[in-house]
Amino acid sequence: MTAQQPLVATRDLGVHFRLSRNTVLKAVDRVSFDVLPGETFGIIGESGSGKTTLGRALVCLEAPSAGQVLHQGRDPYALSRRQLRQHRRNYQVVFQDPNAALDPRMTILRSVREPLDVAATMPRAQRDEVAMQAMERVGLSPDFAARYPHELSGGQKQRVCIARVLTLRPSVIVCDEAVAALDVSIQADILNLLADLQREFGLTYIFITHNLGVVGHISDRVAVMYLGRLVEMGETEAVLARPLHPYTDALLSAEPVALPSHMRTSQRVILSGELPSPVSPPSGCRFRTRCRFAQDLCAAKEPEWSEVEPGHWAACHFAGTLPVTSSPVHGVAEVVA
Amino acid sequence: MDHAVKQPLLEVNKLSAFFRAGRGEVQVTRDVSFTMAPGEMVGLVGESGCGKTVTGLALMGLLPPASSRLEGKILLQGQDLIAMPPSAKRRLRGRRISMIFQEPMSALDPVFTIGHQISETLRAHQDVSRAEARNRAIEALARVGIPEPTLRYDAYPHQLSGGMRQRAMIAIALVCEPQLLIADEPTTALDVTVQAQIVDVLGELCTRMGMAMLFITHDLGLVSQTCSRLVTMYAGEVVEEGRVDDILLRPRHPYSSGLLRSLPALTQRKARLPAIPGRVPVRGDMPPGCRFQPRCAHAQPPCTAPQPLRAVQPQGEVRCCRAEELILPGVLPVERAA
Amino acid sequence: MNRRQLLLIGSRLLQVVPVVILATVAIFGLLQLVPGDPAAVIAGEYATAERIADIRRMLGLDRPVWEQYVVWLGHAVQGDLSASLITGQPVLDEVLRRLPNTLLITVLALVLAVLIGVPLGILAATRVDRPTDRIVTTIASLGVAVPNFWLGMILVGFFALGLGWFPTTGAASLTQDPLRALSHAALPALALATGGIAEITRQLRSALIEVLSSQYVRTLHAKGLSNARILWQHGLKNVSLTLLTVVGLVFNRALGATVAIEAVFAIPGTGSLVVASATNKDFPVVQGVVFVLVLIVIGLNLMIDLLYSLLDPRVNRR
């Protein structure tokens, strides 16, 4: 695994926004991770965690204020403007709201073809053909081509967005809450489609979501974000079964899982309070204000981002020594398996 | 536990909602029937457009009278709410039935303090002095877990976080200690950790006040955590009703089963999710008989005949003619649920 | 008054400076395009070219335009609005003498617009898509379209010349003879008000419809409040911001429209003063009027901003 060149990597990445003269919002702060070719890398976080900004930075929609984003070991910002434009086609995003992503006055075919029109590397007839192929691949029959977005359901619109991204044959797709707005039965459909496409085209996914069920289902590895920082990262099974960080533990515990009462074993951890302002995060460990294990050390010193177990990273002074509860999400997986 | 013994608090009987559309009407819900015992927590579950919110608003009498029409009966302790004059119904709202909504920000008036919005509810229904209303509003804020309630009384909605706003909304709804709370997706707009707090507060207050709650949601996980009984809606109809624990393990309707199976948390990692093929039929173009039949893997010719909601053994109701013969998977595979 | 509001006043007052400069520069520039020469007017019909040139030099009209402007501005900031080139009278006196006549019809127009527009807007919004609403909105769209000077002439023809209820032209002092002043002001104010009535009705209607169909109003119904309470307490407080904005707009427009209306009704106000001075290129007078009117408009807008922060708690937040 170490031999593989990461397709996307961040090195102490920071994305900062200056809100006024004296306040800087560090939406993403000193984040480092590698995404390997062909894997699905999940990023979990609540609103305000910086996960969307991170996703945008990964595909060069947001320039780093500190540190680096590396694509196949190279800094895309070192490329010339033309090369960067070429290069970007490899790194695509699918957003949560397909309504915002589709122009209501464009036919579906035109929407799907649009990235090719912008790239302008092939003749019109060929572009239509590629667009039709992409539509077929995501399960939209040819008679959708002449329709408009308002005639489609939410799930179908999200398929259009996926087809549109596929036309460019990217190697990485960032899915930012791509299934969050969909009903469960449709969501399952789209998740299956994404899995099929990954197999077929060898795609690499970076899956950004607040939904643990979704991220647990499709990711190989997950990272957990809190107030702009990564607090935990590792193989999905390991993170869900043996969370090292108390925040991950609380997230897992808060996730409502459909289980009959006699099968609920774990004690629920209910976090007190809400996310502090990301503009002035707490000193030391950012989670300490809501952590039930917090001690003086946590306020005084920032915890190191360290590999507690092989491949399983966490930023907590007491990682691995805390009596975290076994998560209900994992509980189900065990029961079902 | 046995709700058949008590007189039902709420009895919804063949409730249909119609919306005016152009010169005609579209039927949004059809023959919705269920009962709730005093203090009972019932989940009303379905996907978007299934009519669950419309049903909630109908119970409250909040559907616009000019553009909608109701048929059937809504009995609150035997009193028919549909037949009741509007002014009498208004006096029930906020006092005996309350409702909370999905978006706490847009559900609160931005130009009045939350304290004012609580005490005006109290003063609309009870003869209390300004000072007493204020005190009781502060108590209500404390009860829903808002820190420093005396200070928060004078806060405006925009000065509170999302979770605190929803708590304030709950304080408004519960200040007159209603018998029934209708909670329409109260946590959908909130983060999971805050959602857990709100669900906790709601559950605790219901128990403490002996209040019944109709929890409208798309999230089966939340229902399993909060409710004892479950009503599933599909395309404007109730398709199944029963105890949560029973339905999670042994759903009787293929749609309930499909919903449960498509939850990603319950499937083995990376395995194919059992999605429900096709899409929900549109209003005004409903398939004959069972509305789920075009998407149902178990459909047979009799399914195109009208399907009544009927009782099944040992308890519960299902709108499926094959309920007795089918053995459907719930959250666990069939062989493990036995 | 809190610190934020003081800051707001301070920053607004600073904004007055560029606005006044821009407005007076624009007028100054435009005046250069108007045909006519004040020196020729003063010199009389049979004056020699030499005599006219002398007068020009005396008045400083031979100097570059920008220099004339700078000299004027230098005096204006010291409170001296110079004197009329034609009459030699101090401009400030003349403006202050005529201003009450203009303000009377403008303010009266505003009061009429609010008193008629607000009830109509509420009436329409609470009866959406019913006959009352349709009638009100139709009349309101007509009111926006009708030019007020034309309406003024119609009003004079009907109520003054025809019925003889009101005087046709002129003005009277409000302090000396209030009744006569009001009867003189009634028709011009009504002509000025129509556009405002229509504007207030339309804007209030749409704002109130939006508020009444909002989710928080649904909450108010869910709490069991009466329709009357929802409309009069929550509805009106929420649309008060829109109303305030429209009132400011209507006042500004009405003040501008006095130029035409004062001509129709022969009212000795600032509007007619501007028209007369502009034709004679008597720029100190035109400048003086514009200067004073701009100050009035800015003062009113400042008041509206302050009222905003009192009415809407969200304005005070950054």
Q: What is the CATH number of the domain that holds B179?
A: 3.40.50.300
Q: Does C163 have pLDDT greater than 80?
A: no
Instruction: Kindly report which listed range (A282-291, B89-98, C29-38, C221-230) carries the lowest average pLDDT score.
Output: C29-38
pLDDT higher at C156 or A215: A215
Is there a cis peptide before residue A260, judged by omega within 30 degrees of 0? Answer: no
* DSSP state string for B268-316: PTTSPP-PPPS-PPPTT-PPSSSTTGGG-TT--GGGGS----EE-SSS-
Give the one of A189, A250, A261 whose C-beta lies nearest to B245's C-beta: A261
Give the one of B95, B108, B109 whose C-beta lies nearest to C224's C-beta: B95
Determine contact, residues B168/B157, Cβ cutoff 8 Å: yes
Exposure on the CB side of residue A44, measured as CA atoms within 13 A: 30
**CATH number of the domain where residue C239 is located:** 1.10.3720.10
pLDDT higher at B123 or C74: B123
pLDDT of residue C272: 86
Terminal-to-terminal C-alpha distance of chain B: 24
Is any Cβ of chain C less than 8 angstroms from the Cβ of B238? no
Domain that holds residue A27: 8-90+170-243
Q: Residue B123: exposed, middle, or buried by beta-carbon count in 10 A (0-12, 13-18, 19+)?
A: middle
> Is the same domain home to B87 and B155?
yes
> Is the same domain home to C130 and C31?
no
pLDDT of residue A337: 43
Determine contact, residues A10/A73, Cβ cutoff 8 Å: no
pLDDT of residue B95: 94
Q: Cβ of A270 and B196 within 8 Å?
A: yes
Chain B interface, best mutation among C219, C238, C240, by max B CB count within 10 A: C219
Q: Cβ of B279 and A212 within 8 Å?
A: no
Q: Which of A73, A144, A71, A90 is nearest to A112 (CA)?
A: A144
Q: Which residues of B touch A330 (CB under 8 A)?
A: none
**CATH number of the domain where residue A81 is located:** 3.40.50.300
Terminal-to-terminal C-alpha distance of chain C: 17
Q: A239: part of which helix (H) or strand (E)?
A: helix A236-241
Two tokens, residue A184: 């469960």
Q: Which residues of B touch A237 (CB under 8 A)?
A: 269
Helix, strand or coil, per DSSP, at residue B201 = helix
Q: Does B332 have pLDDT greater than 60?
A: yes
Q: Cβ of B94 and C223 within 8 Å?
A: yes
Residues whose CB falls within 8 Å of the CB of residue C211, separated by 6 or more in sequence, listed in order: C217, C234, C235, C238, C239
Residues whose CB falls within 8 Å of the CB of residue A249, separated by 6 or more in sequence, listed in order: A243, A269, A322, A324, A325, A327
Mind telling me how many Å the CA of C131 is from chain B's nearest CA? 14
Strand ranges, E, within B37-120? 41-45, 68-76, 79-80, 97-100
Helix, strand or coil, per DSSP, at residue B34 = strand
Provide, rounded to the nearest whole percent, the portion of chain C with pLDDT above 70: 97
Q: Does C183 have pLDDT greater than 90?
A: no
Q: Which of B1, B28, B2, B32 is nearest to B15 (CA)?
A: B32
Domain that holds residue C127: 95-279
Q: Alpha-carbon distance C121 to C128, whole Å?
A: 11
> In which band, very low, low, confident or very high, does the pLDDT at B319 lie, cut at 50, 70 and 90?
very high
Interface of C to B at Cβ within 8 Å reads 214-226, 229, 234, 237-238, 311-314, 317
Q: Alpha-carbon distance A259 to B245, whole Å?
A: 8
> Is the same domain home to C56 and C128?
no
Domain that holds residue B279: 233-337
Q: Cβ of C222 and B108 within 8 Å?
A: no
pLDDT digits (tens, 9 = 90+) for B174-230: 999 999 999 999 998 888 889 999 999 999 999 999 999 999 999 999 999 899 999
* Structural domains counted in chain B: 2
Q: C235: part of which helix (H) or strand (E)?
A: none
Q: Which residues of C touch B159 (CB under 8 A)?
A: 313, 317
Please identify which residue in the block is written with the tokens 């990217």. Answer: A170
Q: Cβ of A270 and B331 within 8 Å?
A: no
- The neighbour count for residue B23, using CB atoms within 10 Å, is 5
Residues whose CB falls within 8 Å of the CB of residue B57, separated by 6 or more in sequence, listed in order: B63, B99
Last residue within a domain, chosen from B227, B250, B270:
B227
pLDDT digits (tens, 9 = 90+) for A116-174: 988 878 888 999 999 999 999 998 989 899 999 988 888 899 999 999 999 999 999 99
Q: Cβ of B193 and A46 within 8 Å?
A: yes
pLDDT of residue B181: 97
> Is the same domain home to C100 and C242?
yes
What does the angle CA A42 – CA A47 – CA A51 come to, to the nearest 5 degrees?
A: 40
Q: Cβ of B219 and A214 within 8 Å?
A: no
Provide, rounded to the nearest whole percent, the portion of chain A with pLDDT above 90: 57
Bridge partner list, A35: A8
CB pairs under 8 A between A and B: 147
Residue B2 located in a structural domain: no
> In which band, very low, low, confident or very high, does the pLDDT at C94 lie, cut at 50, 70 and 90?
confident
Two tokens, residue B81: 């709410």
Q: Does C290 have pLDDT greater than 90?
A: no
Residue A22 located in a structural domain: yes
Residue B121 located in a structural domain: yes
* DSSP state string for A170-216: -SEEEEESTTTTS-HHHHHHHHHHHHHHHHHHT-EEEEEES-HHHHH
Give the one of B90, B93, B101 whose C-beta lies nearest to C215's C-beta: B101
Is any Cβ of chain C less than 8 angstroms from the Cβ of B67? no
Instruction: Kindly report which listed range (A81-90, B290-299, C9-18) carries the lowest average pLDDT score.
Output: C9-18
Q: Which sign does the torsion angle of CA B156, B162, B166, B167 carry? A: negative
Mind telling me how many Å the CA of B254 is from chain A's nearest CA? 13
Q: Cβ of B274 and A188 within 8 Å?
A: yes
* Structural domains counted in chain C: 2
> Is the same domain home to B162 and B240?
no
Q: Cβ of B275 and A192 within 8 Å?
A: yes
- The neighbour count for residue B210, using CB atoms within 10 Å, is 10
Last residue within a domain, chosen from B177, B198, B227:
B227
Specify the DSSP class assigned to residue B148.
S
Q: Alpha-carbon distance B28 to B283, whole Å?
A: 7
Determine contact, residues A127/A94, Cβ cutoff 8 Å: no
pLDDT higher at B178 or B66: B178
In chain A (337 residues long), the average pLDDT of successive 10-residue segments reads 79 92 90 95 92 93 93 90 87 88 91 89 90 92 91 90 93 92 87 94 94 90 96 93 91 86 74 85 93 93 94 93 65 48
Summarize the confidence of residues C29-52 as an average pLDDT: 76
Q: Does B338 have pLDDT greater than 70?
A: no
Q: Residue A114: exposed, middle, or buried by beta-carbon count in 10 A (0-12, 13-18, 19+)?
A: middle
